[in-house]
Homo-oligomer: A and B are copies of this chain.
């Protein structure tokens, strides 16, 4: 049983901000990350919330991320926004990019944001959700150090590479939020089993010859199993092409780890596509979204991707979020 304490979202944001600044991050760079951390805790994704703040602080201190970085924006073509994150945090780079991406997508009908020299962007769906809040359909990709092997091979070449889709309803409020990685299970789950000395189920990871294993340590030296076999590899490759190949970021096969302090900045990338649904669908968008949502919600037991997070978000606004005391102790130590 993990000991917890309940904090308001404002307290989570403030604590995150102060810790990041204490570790050497500019307030300008720390703020978007602190806001995202509170939102992630509100959504119930504790693995990517406050628990990451001590890691982010350590990464500023060891130079894996530059807390003082100033991301650089350019607009190489009318529909394309590019941001060089300058080995700083992904969040301020994405924020800067979105300021240009959103009006560009409205004007052009579709626009792209390519972020390079970046870092782990936390929960990808946090970012696409914001595009849906602007009334746009948002599609996002982020790459990661290699952990999935290609079909027929056994050496990792692509990360667990998530994609995310956020769709607004007729009122411009996000109603569908897909946010899923290309592996059967998150790598962090395999690491947790390794720490706890527990076997993993068949189908989670493969040994270094590409065979199934129930030993988490063997799996971590091998590769993560792609969801649905070769089709999971296809989704991971899609994300690698978008987030790394198309942005000029570092390929997962060359990127330094997101965990630990070794290897310097990972310089991975993010790619976002924002689409104005009124431009592509004429006047049919609102009716079609409602039709798809109803076809799912009207089935007993069925749910839309994102329903779980939005229920938790509503509750967190009034009730706050229970966070781990062990994590809070680590953050207090950073502030001391």
A residues lining the B interface (CB < 8 Å) = 76-80, 82, 107-112, 114, 116, 137, 139, 149-155, 157, 163, 165, 167, 176, 178, 180, 184, 227-235, 237-238, 240-241, 244-248, 251, 253-254, 271, 273, 275-277, 279-285, 288-289, 291-292, 295-296, 299-305
Residues of chain B with a CB closer than 8 A to A184's CB: 228
Whether A281 pairs with B238 at a CB distance below 8 angstroms is no
Check A296–B137 contact: CB distance below 8 A. Answer: no
- A232 surroundings in chain B (CB, below 8 A): 227-228, 231
The answer to whether B178 touches A238, judged by C-beta atoms less than 8 angstroms apart, is yes
Say yes or no: A237 contacts B178, CB within 8 Å: yes
Contact (Cβ within 8 A) B302 A149? yes
Identify which of B78, B114, B116, B178 contacts A234 (C-beta below 8 A).
B178
Q: How far is the CA of A167 from the CA of B246 in the complex (A)?
A: 10
List 4 tightest A-B contacts by C-beta distance, closest first.
A153-B302, A77-B109, A228-B228, A248-B284
Q: How far is the CA of A45 from the CA of B58 in the complex (A)?
A: 52
**Known interface pairs A152-B302, A303-B150; A246-B114 also in contact (CB < 8 Å):** no
Complex: A123 Cα to B49 Cα, angstroms? 42
A109 touches B76 (CB 8 A): yes
CB neighbours of A271 from chain B (8 A): 280
CB distance from A134 to the nearest CB of B (A): 16
Q: Contacts A77-B279, A78-B107 given; 10 further ones with Cβ under 8 A?
A: A76-B109, A80-B279, A110-B273, A153-B301, A157-B296, A245-B289, A248-B288, A251-B292, A253-B295, A271-B280
* Cα of A91 to Cα of B267 in the assembled complex, Å: 41
Closest to A289 in B: B245
What residues on B are CB-neighbors of A303 within 8 Å?
150-152
Say yes or no: B151 contacts A292, CB within 8 Å: no
Give CA–CA (A233, B57) in the complex, Å: 37
- Complex interface: chain B residues within 8 A of A304 (CB): 150
Q: Which of A165, A184, A228, A304 has most B Cβ within 10 Å?
A: A228
Smallest Cβ distance from A125 to chain B, in angstroms? 11
Chain B proximity of A127: nearest CB distance (Å)? 16
Q: Which residues of B contact A237 (CB under 8 A)?
A: 165, 176, 178, 292, 305
Contacts of A150 in B (CB 8 A): 296, 299, 302-304
